[in-house]
């Protein structure tokens, strides 16, 4: 029997990048995967790839910062098998890039809120079901930017730093009630979050999304007598 057979995994930002690759790998381990993202075409394509490989995949279009849409997605996931065993909070974006002195307040706050609010809302909607069933695993995909200072990334970095503290507090609150909470903090990963243009590090030196997905899967397969609280994963050459 596959390691995650019978389990249901909800993955935000599941249409592409780390989220899509995580969905593929968890499905290979036997999990029923529920992908959530804003772009239907990407969700359909990723779900089709999982099914073609013999896995089980469903999807819901939702913005993680929209409480109503996320509530519908979580209820839909619960309707599939009646349980939610894994949550991978992966959705995120970079918008406000530049020096603080040149920043636009509305854009800055949008970046901070968009990254942090989605993490909170999705967790808040899923957590009661995990606590009620007495088990569950949550992996928050954060960033090295949440622990180290990068000029020009103040809003994103503040969001990820807050996400890390959120993860630590959540773990403290629920670890004795059967829910394991973990954080992965990748360095530069070759995904669309970078956009195009000047200032983007050499993509050939970045971590591949499937590598991060493999590590997330390994975290979720950690034996029950242990936990990986926080894991920093950098490219081979370190900070790019």
Task: Write the pLDDT tens digit of every residue in 139-189.
Answer: 999 999 999 999 999 999 999 999 999 999 999 999 999 999 999 999 999
* Mean pLDDT calculated for residue range 39-56: 97
Distance from C-alpha of 156 to C-alpha of 103, rounded to nearest angstrom: 12
The per-type count for the chain, helices as H runs and strands as E runs, is 6, 7
CA distance linking residue 57 with residue 172, whole number of Å: 32
What is the crossing angle of helices 105-133 and 154-174, to 10°? 20
Residue 13 Ramachandran class (φ > 0 left, ψ -120 to 50 alpha, else beta): left
Q: What is the dihedral of CA 61, 110, 211, 197, to 10 degrees?
A: 110
Over residues 3-31, the mean pLDDT reads 97
d(CA 147, CA 232): 10
State the pLDDT at residue 200: 72
- CA–CA separation, 160 vs 134, rounded Å? 28
Q: Which domains does the chain have, with CATH numbers?
A: 8-233 (3.40.50.720)
- Residue 118, exposed/middle/buried by CB under 10 A (0-12, 13-18, 19+)? buried
CA angle (36, 172, 10) in 5-degree steps: 15
How far apart are the C-alpha atoms of 123 and 174, rounded to whole Å?
Answer: 12
Q: How many angstroms separate the CA atoms of 172 and 163, rounded?
A: 14
Percent of the chain with pLDDT over 70: 98
pLDDT band at 199; cut points 50, 70, 90: low
76 Cβ contact partners less than 8 Å away, ≥ 6 residues apart = 34, 58, 60
Identify the residue with better confidence: 93 or 193. 93
Q: What is the rounded CA–CA span in Å between residue 111 and residue 122?
A: 17
Give the model's pLDDT for residue 197. 56
Residue 194 pLDDT > 70: no
Dump pLDDT digits (tens) for 96-123. 788 999 999 999 999 998 899 999 999 9
Find the Cα–Cα–Cα–Cα dihedral 163, 165, 167, 169, rounded to 10°: -140
pTM: 0.94
Query: β-strands 32-37, 8-12: how paired?
Result: parallel
Per residue in 50-107, pLDDT tens?
Answer: 999 999 999 999 999 999 999 999 999 999 889 999 999 999 888 778 899 999 999 9
Catalytic sites, residue numbers: 156
């Amino acid at each position: 029997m596959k390691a995650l057979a019978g389990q249901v995994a909800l993955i935000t930002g599941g249409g592409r990048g780390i989220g899509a690759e995580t969905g593929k790998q968890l499905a290979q381990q036997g999990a029923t995967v529920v992908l959530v993202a804003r772009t239907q075409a990407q969700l359909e394509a990723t779900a089709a790839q999982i099914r073609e490989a013999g896995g089980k995949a469903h999807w819901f279009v939702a913005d993680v910062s929209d409480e109503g849409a996320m509530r519908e997605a979580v209820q839909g996931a619960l309707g599939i098998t009646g349980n939610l065993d894994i949550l991978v909070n992966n959705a995120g974006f970079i918008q406000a890039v530049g020096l603080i002195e040149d920043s636009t307040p509305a854009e800055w706050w949008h970046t901070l809120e968009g990254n942090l609010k989605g993490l909170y809302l999705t967790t808040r909607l899923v957590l009661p079901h995990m606590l009620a069933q007495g088990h569950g695993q949550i992996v928050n995909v954060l960033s090295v930017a949440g622990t180290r200072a990068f000029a020009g990334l103040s809003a994103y970095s503040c969001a990820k730093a807050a996400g890390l503290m959120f993860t630590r507090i959540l773990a403290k609150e629920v670890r004795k009630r059967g829910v394991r909470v973990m954080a992965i903090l990748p360095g530069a990963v070759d995904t669309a979050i970078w956009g195009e243009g000047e200032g983007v590090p050499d993509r050939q030196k970045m971590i591949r999304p499937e590598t991060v997905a493999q590590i997330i899967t390994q975290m979720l397969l950690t034996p029950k007598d242990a936990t990986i609280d926080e894991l920093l994963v950098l490219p081979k050459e370190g900070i790019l």
